[in-house]
Structure 1
Amino acid sequence: MTVSAWAPLRRSAFRALWLAQFASNIGTWAQTVGAQWLMGDLGGTALQVALVQTATTLPVFLLVVPFGALGDILDRRHVLLAGQALMLAGAGGLMLLAGTDSATPARLLGFLALMAVGQALSMPSFQAIQPELVSREEIPQAALLNGVNMNVGRAIGPALGGLLIASVGPEATFGFNTVSFLGVLIVLARWRRPADNRPLGAEHIATAVRTGARYVGSSPLFRRVLTRLTLFIVFGSGLWALLPAIARGPLQLDAGGYGVLLGSVGAGAIGGAFIVPKLLRLMSKNRLVLYATLVYAAATSTSVLTGSVALVIVAMLFTGACWIATLSTFNASAQILLPAWTRARALSYYQLILMGGQALGAVVWGSIADAYGLRTAMIVPAVAMVVLAVVATRWLPLIDRPLDVSPATFWGEPPQIADTAGRPVLVTVEWRVPTENEREFVDAMQRVGRARRRTGATMWGLFRDTEKPGTMLETFTVATWQEHLRQHLERGTVVDQANYEAALVLAEGPPQVRHLLYAEPPKPE
């Protein structure tokens, strides 16, 4: 059965949030223009104007990982409400400052930073709730539509901001953004999200952050998506940083012409939403990303290889379509690989790379443009993108087969142990393995070991008993007994169960499991 590109919009919760987010994205981009303009009106130095961008990105970069952990240990709807409320407060504060002529550079930067904190709080949880709003089959289409949302907002927002500044003043952009956040808050307040299943209660924030990092480190398929994202975003982000310079320089366009280029990118993104689902029926994700990267590299190079404005406008259509095709494929691939218990904290690393890669790319390619010219700064990364895309397609392929990461409880009942006092736990699992199955068993256990580490094990190993032929000893340590109980009751998935059972059928009978607590030395008397 073919899933329509617009199928997620038939779901009322997704549709309402998508529309509210669309207005919010337009407001955010309009406000960016207003903030930069207001800083100029305040007599801000070149450094203070540059700090507008820093204030809107640095808090996100610093806080998105711990806030991603909050999205897994608290109700994600409440986390989103808190994040949007902070952004509403920041936009409202900017509106009052500008409207009462009480703005200063420091106050402007402070309220922008407050909004960035709210954005950091919202981003991982917003990504993590997408599988709750649509079916698993609709996740790629939802990712596409969210990409369209952002790119069209990027195209419309600056133009609207310019009109509002010209007709009313910068305070109008802040007022529009304030109203847009009210819409998101209303939608979230009306959404009836099912309660999370946490038999052992919420995790401590520090533990949740460590567990999220351990999950990412022990998930090769998810790390592969992050690597592919890094390779694309660092080399592909130069266009967004340098497009204003290309418009004003080689193309000799005014602000209206620059707006046309941005509008072309947005139109390309909308077209991509129609085309990508059809392409995915004809080819794999891996091949789609490769082709989209090649076309994106060619289109970005066109912007500095021709003086024809019409040709560049057409090239921007392709950049918008290919940008959304690539990033939505990465985003959907990441979401379907992650179980619900760790989705927000793992996706925070995705957001960290997405934003950090764009910031790094802007600095690197902007510096190269200053030193060697715009043509070099666009063609060098384009060539690098092509080479890296070809290599990554071969050595870091995206998978098309579905993985069932829905919850599953398949471990035996843990023993009842009291007064563990937060001590580390050593678990030993003794397996009896026929000699003819040993090689295949060791291979199967590598997948089991990764699952142990993803769900909480700090160390894992498999050993062959030299005194008892046919005996294998699996050992792993967990930081606390509570963490081990979470392995038993909250963190297992269907794919983990399948890997465990694949090893079990190669052994003779069920394994013998022992649990040992770290023996603390007695306190001196």
Structure 2
Amino acid sequence: MAGVAADATLLSTFAPLKNPTFRSIWLAMQVSSLGSLMEAVATSWLMATVSPSDLMVALVQASSTLPTFILSVFAGAIADNFSRGRVMFSGRCLMILASAMLTALVALAFVDPWLILSCSFLLGCGAALNGPAWEASIGDIVDRRDLPAAITLTSVGFHTVRTVGPALGGIVIASLGAMTAFSLTTLCYLLPLCALRRCNWKARSSTLPRESMIAAINAGVRFTATSSELKVAIARGTLFGLASISILALLPLIVRDQFAGGAIAYGILMGGFGTGAVLGGISNSVFRRKLPQERLIALACAACATCSISLALIPELALAAVALALGGAGWVIAWSSLTVSVQLASPRWIAGRTISIYFALTHGGIAAGSWVWGVIAQNFSPALSLEASAGALLLIATGCLLRVRRPRESELGSLNGLNAVAKRWHQREEPNEQ
């Protein structure tokens, strides 16, 4: 019986892949993620070699996530008012442009720390435009019962690639140079464009009129402000992003200074993080069935805290890889759980905006955390910065003031019910006509 239950759980996890549209775009995204991870390794390691500042190295993470904080709310409103497929296509084109610019700069040997951050920022702008549209489209492409599995698969797919992407990036940089890594990344970004041109899906119909940008953003903010589930999930996500990003932001410094390693060692450790993320993602469905949402997020925070403190104290590369695997598992479980909470609490007519607000604030937390832990590392030491972030993660794990719970099925409602809610929201905005 246990084997049958395990098989059923595994089948339910991969059920969204039966949908040809989701499968095609999902597979293309994995190739794109492979390029993205190679570029992340190349960019971080390039910054570590051209700049002696610990803060500048940590700011690589901030530069790629800050655009989501700035632009995501606008991107969410665009995703709800226009074709989400076309919005994704536009965002992907911007990512290709940024990657091609970075490749050209490296080819011309015109490498400056601020130019690296600028290209990383532009790449983040493309990702900020693409992200809310893709996340909101998942609910249009797959059935609602498959939505948690589809969200988990999206995260698992990325972290599956993460098991090999960073190591591959390190090998390419060490053997062929950074320009080759950036060139391969640009080619990888092209595949999602082909998938988006081939695939068409119908967004769930809405009887609501198209809104102006300001009205759409205002409605999204007000709806989020009245939903306790959304507010708690976003607040916990922001705090988790702020505290946990120390692992990825400071890892190049740990490899360079503590382990005296190179690009390959950095890639291997990132691969360890990705391996743990894959195992955590595959096991996430089991955990969601056996543990309350709050307990699951608390354990994920504790796992990341253990990873941070271990990186600060462990002197051996192999043990650090094991610690990073634990951190990767906690990372993907926490983000998957929080994202599922936001998706299930969001009606389809406003999903792009609620998801974009979630993205904006959580990525704002990540950007702020990259700066905070970088400043501490610069003025004191990377080890002290990691220890401080571990303490912050343990505080977040307690969840004394902000407890996330799984929405009850009775609260999810039908599509007609959600449209009725939408109509009432819009009627509030219309002046009474006498």
TM-score range, shorter chain: 0.7 to 0.9
Shift of 1:155: 4.9
Q: Which residue of 1 aligns with 2:318?
A: 310
Q: Which residue of 2 aligns with 1:343?
A: 351
Q: Which residue of 2 aligns with 1:331?
A: 339
- TM-score, length-scaled by structure 2: 0.85
Q: Of the two structures, which has the highest relative contact order with CA contacts closer than 8 Å and spacing of 6 or more?
A: 2
Closer, same or farther: CA 453–323 of 1 in aligned 2, 3 Å = farther
Q: For 1:4, what is the secondary structure of its paired residue?
A: helix
Shift of 1:156: 3.5
Per-residue CA distance 1:318-358 (angstroms, 9 max, x = gap): 11111111110111111111011111111111111222111
Q: Which residue of 2 aligns with 1:397?
A: 404
Of 456, 468, 480 in structure 1, the residue corresponding to residue 430 of structure 2 is 480
Query: How far apart in 2 are the matches of 1:219 and 1:139?
Result: 20
Q: Which residue of 2 aligns with 1:229?
A: 237
Q: Which residue of 2 aligns with 1:82?
A: 90
Closer, same or farther: CA 264–63 of 1 in aligned 2, 3 Å = same
Query: How far apart in 2 are the matches of 1:44 and 1:374?
Result: 16
Determine whether 1:243 maps to 2:251: yes
Stretch moving more, 194-203 or 44-53: 44-53
Query: How far apart in 2 are the matches of 1:329 and 1:129?
Result: 18
Shift of 1:174: 3.1
Closer, same or farther: CA 228–98 of 1 in aligned 2, 3 Å = closer
Determine whether 1:213 maps to 2:221: yes
- More strand per residue: 1 or 2? 1
Q: Which residue of 1 aligns with 2:38?
A: 30
1:263-274 equivalences under 5 Å are 263-274=271-282
Per-residue CA distance 1:155-203 (angstroms, 9 max, x = gap): 5434333443455444433332222222101111111211553445421
Q: For 1:194, what is the secondary structure of its paired residue?
A: coil
Query: How far apart in 2 are the matches of 1:384 and 1:297?
Result: 8
Q: Which residue of 1 aligns with 2:292?
A: 284
Q: For 1:333, what is the secondary structure of its paired residue?
A: helix
Asked if the contact 1:337–1:405 (Cα under 8 Å) also holds between the matched residues in 2, the reply is no
Query: How far apart in 1 are the matches of 2:133 and 2:314?
Result: 42
Q: Which residue of 1 aligns with 2:4?
A: none
Stretch moving more, 309-318 or 76-85: 309-318
Please tell me the residue identity of whatever aligns with 2:269.
L
Q: Which residue of 1 aligns with 2:124?
A: 116
Asked if the contact 2:92–2:126 (Cα under 8 Å) also holds between the matched residues in 1, the reply is yes
Shift of 1:65: 1.0
Query: How far apart in 2 are the matches of 1:96 and 1:296?
Result: 37
Q: Which residue of 2 aligns with 1:260?
A: 268
- TM-score, length-scaled by structure 1: 0.71
Q: Which residue of 2 aligns with 1:488?
A: none
Query: How far apart in 2 are the matches of 1:213 and 1:197?
Result: 22
Q: For 1:193, what is the secondary structure of its paired residue?
A: coil
Query: How far apart in 2 are the matches of 1:185 and 1:400?
Result: 35
Query: How far apart in 2 are the matches of 1:86 and 1:173?
Result: 18
Please tell me the residue identity of whatever aligns with 2:197.
A
Determine whether 1:352 maps to 2:360: yes
Please tell me the residue identity of whatever aligns with 1:401.
R
Query: How far apart in 2 are the matches of 1:253 and 1:133?
Result: 44
Determine whether 1:455 maps to 2:405: no
Query: How far apart in 1 are the matches of 2:60 and 2:194?
Result: 29
Shift of 1:85: 2.0
Query: How far apart in 2 are the matches of 1:246 and 1:329?
Result: 29
Q: For 1:192, what is the secondary structure of its paired residue?
A: coil
Determine whether 1:69 maps to 2:77: yes
Determine whether 1:191 maps to 2:199: yes
- More helix per residue: 1 or 2? 2
Asked if the contact 1:219–1:454 (Cα under 8 Å) also holds between the matched residues in 2, the reply is no
Asked if the contact 1:293–1:389 (Cα under 8 Å) also holds between the matched residues in 2, the reply is yes
Asked if the contact 2:132–2:355 (Cα under 8 Å) also holds between the matched residues in 1, the reply is yes
Determine whether 1:175 maps to 2:175: no
Query: How far apart in 2 are the matches of 1:267 and 1:93?
Result: 31
Closer, same or farther: CA 165–307 of 1 in aligned 2, 3 Å = closer
Stretch moving more, 59-68 or 344-353: 59-68
Closer, same or farther: CA 53–251 of 1 in aligned 2, 3 Å = closer
1:412-451 equivalences under 5 Å are none
In structure 2, list runs of 5 or more residues that go unmatched: 1-7
Asked if the contact 1:17–1:184 (Cα under 8 Å) also holds between the matched residues in 2, the reply is yes
Please tell me the residue identity of whatever aligns with 2:245.
S
Query: How far apart in 2 are the matches of 1:195 and 1:225?
Result: 25
Asked if the contact 2:68–2:364 (Cα under 8 Å) also holds between the matched residues in 1, the reply is no
Q: For 1:455, what is the secondary structure of its paired residue?
A: helix
Asked if the contact 1:152–1:263 (Cα under 8 Å) also holds between the matched residues in 2, the reply is no
Shift of 1:390: 1.7
Query: How far apart in 1 are the matches of 2:407 and 2:419?
Result: 29
Structure whose alpha-carbon radius of gyration is higher: 1
In structure 1, list runs of 5 or more residues that go unmatched: 413-450, 458-477, 482-514, 518-525
Determine whether 1:369 maps to 2:339: no
- The number of equivalent residue pairs is 423
Query: How far apart in 2 are the matches of 1:300 and 1:39?
Result: 22
Shift of 1:107: 7.3
Closer, same or farther: CA 255–131 of 1 in aligned 2, 3 Å = same
Stretch moving more, 369-378 or 295-304: 369-378
Per-residue CA distance 1:384-437 (angstroms, 9 max, x = gap): 322332234x7523125223244326999xxxxxxxxxxxxxxxxxxxxxxxxx
Stretch moving more, 396-405 or 15-24: 396-405
Please tell me the residue identity of whatever aligns with 1:71.
A
Query: How far apart in 2 are the matches of 1:94 and 1:378?
Result: 30
Asked if the contact 2:229–2:404 (Cα under 8 Å) also holds between the matched residues in 1, the reply is no
Closer, same or farther: CA 372–40 of 1 in aligned 2, 3 Å = closer
Closer, same or farther: CA 66–516 of 1 in aligned 2, 3 Å = same
Of 261, 279, 283 in structure 2, the residue corresponding to residue 275 of structure 1 is 283
Asked if the contact 1:148–1:266 (Cα under 8 Å) also holds between the matched residues in 2, the reply is no
Query: How far apart in 2 are the matches of 1:411 and 1:38?
Result: 50
| TM-align CA RMSD | 3.3
The percent identity for this pair of structures is 31
Q: Which residue of 1 aligns with 2:5?
A: none
Per-residue CA distance 1:28-59 (angstroms, 9 max, x = gap): 23234445677899x88979988866654443
